[in-house]
Structure 1
Amino acid sequence: MASSKARQRALARAKTERQIARRAAAARRRRQWQAGIGSAVALALIVLVVIWKTGGFEPEPVRASECAWTSVEAGSGIVDVGKPRTNDIVKNGVKTMTISLGQGTVTAKLDPSKAPCTVESFTYLASKKFFDNTVCHRLTDAILQCGDPSGSGSGGPAYRFPNENVPSPTVDPSASASADASSTGNALYPMGTLAMAHSSEPDSNGSQFFLVFKDVQYPADYTVFGTIVGGLDVLTKIGEGGNDGSNQAGGGKPNQDVKISSLTVTDIAPEEPSTAPSASTSASTSASASPAASASSQS
């Protein structure tokens, strides 16, 4: 009987010892877990302090725009199709601009490395079909001017942008007798030049451009953004058709309707002509009125 009671007491004591051991182990695990959490929190606080001291919580500065598109108030001839992107502008490679006219097709090689914002603008406007079904509103004996959706010489998109790749002033010896051509502010725009037209205000480029089919002297103030590589014969025939002389500064509306049915810009380089244009189309240098003189707003 005594041995039975002793055995029960021993079992009870062993059970109690096991319970105490389990509680001690649980308490030890809890302390370890709490210590781990505390260390993690302390480490996180240290990291946050370091980031704060090094300016990590300051907002990332906004990258300056690569191309500045200045808004234009809505008005007669202004067509709002939004604005091109301001960053990640393409500045290399070659693009092809294809102009489909009723008289034939003109192709030009665009150079983003020299006039990235101008090429970006034309690529954007072409994607919006901005030039489609518009007329070329001005013709002289050396250039054809297009790109105004209103056909008035004062229209364009709802933004303007600065000049790029302006030629250096030169003097054409063959026109030295002309006061206009002898000005040190003038430059030679050779046959095949593709350039922007604008108003007399600075940095007022929009959508109007001119295609040079005979060497011409103009102020060194127009962005050259491409070279005509096909269709100079088309432009020469349009020039031979003459104009109505309606522009007081020179030239006027083409006598034959010149309409752009479509204008596209692609990333594929154009095929260069196998032979140069005949010398007869560029034998003389014209001193006709510059594109800036054809309208009060933009031309």
Structure 2
Amino acid sequence: MTLKTNLGNVVIDLTPGKTPCTINSFAFLAAKHFFDDTVCFRLATIQTNGVGLLQCGDPQAKGDGKNPTDGTGGPGYLFDDENLGPQYRRGVVFMAQAGDASNSNGSQFAISFTDENAQLPAAYTPFGVVRKGMDIIDEVVRGGVVEFVDGGDITNDDGGANAPKIRVLITEVVIS
């Protein structure tokens, strides 16, 4: 899978044998251009949130640290978790959902940029590993965070997110 972004391409090796529902959902959404012109709206760092991830896949997100509904959008359907396990090391791409909301995957996903995410509970479907483009993610991380104006961020079930200062616009998702 290739995430074509305004900063360059991020190429992800997928795990269809372990996560067929997840991969089929991404293929369906990509074919419908669901991810086109969406932003990666959340940058959670060890310093700000205790985890290191860049989150994308909310079609309504603004990614400015001000929008209280960032992180609440999706495709209009949910599917079950697959291949669970504490595997969220650097480069792993996994589905994002509220920690207490098992089997509620939609379109949101996260890219881990640190090995320090190993402490995350085995609650998120890992479905790929970044093969090319971690330098882009690292650049975004180095750029810093716009803290969510209402606070809470990743622990807030009502939406809102700490946003990356360097805007990441996904122009297209290609699955080949």
Identify whether the pair has TM-score above 0.5, normalized to the shorter chain.
yes
Stretches of structure 2 lacking an aligned partner (at least 5 in a row):
46-51, 62-69, 155-160
Contact 2:95 2:124 (8 Å CA) reproduced: yes
Residue identity in the other structure for 1:107 = V
Contact 2:43 2:164 (8 Å CA) reproduced: yes
Matches within 5 A, 1:222-261: 222-246=124-148, 248-249=152-153, 252-261=162-171
- What is the aligned partner in structure 2 of residue 154 from structure 1? 72
- What is the aligned partner in structure 1 of residue 95 from structure 2? 196
Residue identity in the other structure for 1:149 = P
* Larger fraction in helix: 1
Q: Please give the secondary structure, in 1, of the residue aligned with 2:111.
A: strand
Residue identity in the other structure for 1:222 = Y
Q: Distance in 2 between matches of 1:212 and 1:110?
A: 15
Which ranges of 4 or more aligned residues in structure 1 deviate by more than 4 Å?
none
Is residue 135 from structure 1 mapped to residue 35 from structure 2 by the alignment?
Answer: no
Is residue 166 from structure 1 mapped to residue 166 from structure 2 by the alignment?
Answer: no
Residue identity in the other structure for 1:204 = S
Is residue 219 from structure 1 mapped to residue 121 from structure 2 by the alignment?
Answer: yes
Contact 1:131 1:262 (8 Å CA) reproduced: yes
Contact 1:131 1:149 (8 Å CA) reproduced: yes
Q: Distance in 2 between matches of 1:228 and 1:188?
A: 13
Contact 1:140 1:242 (8 Å CA) reproduced: no
Contact 1:133 1:261 (8 Å CA) reproduced: yes
Residue identity in the other structure for 1:189 = Y
Q: Distance in 1 between matches of 2:13 and 2:152?
A: 32
Contact 2:53 2:113 (8 Å CA) reproduced: yes
Stretches of structure 1 lacking an aligned partner (at least 5 in a row):
1-96, 168-186, 267-299
Higher alpha-carbon Rg: 1
TM-score after normalising by structure 1:
0.49
Q: Distance in 1 between matches of 2:174 and 2:87?
A: 28
Residue identity in the other structure for 1:139 = L
Q: Distance in 2 between matches of 1:188 and 1:224?
A: 7
Contact 1:135 1:258 (8 Å CA) reproduced: yes
Matches within 5 A, 1:91-130: 97-130=1-34
Q: Distance in 2 between matches of 1:116 and 1:162?
A: 11
Q: Shift in Å at residue 202 of structure 1?
A: 2.4
* Larger fraction in strand: 2
Q: Distance in 2 between matches of 1:240 and 1:140?
A: 12
Q: Distance in 2 between matches of 1:104 and 1:239?
A: 15
Matched positions, count? 151
Residue identity in the other structure for 1:164 = E
RCO higher in 1 or 2 (8 Å CA, sep ≥ 6)?
A: 2
Q: Shift in Å at residue 249 of structure 1?
A: 4.1
Q: Shift in Å at residue 258 of structure 1?
A: 1.2
Contact 2:54 2:110 (8 Å CA) reproduced: yes
Contact 2:87 2:126 (8 Å CA) reproduced: no
Q: Distance in 1 between matches of 2:112 and 2:58?
A: 17
Contact 1:103 1:258 (8 Å CA) reproduced: yes
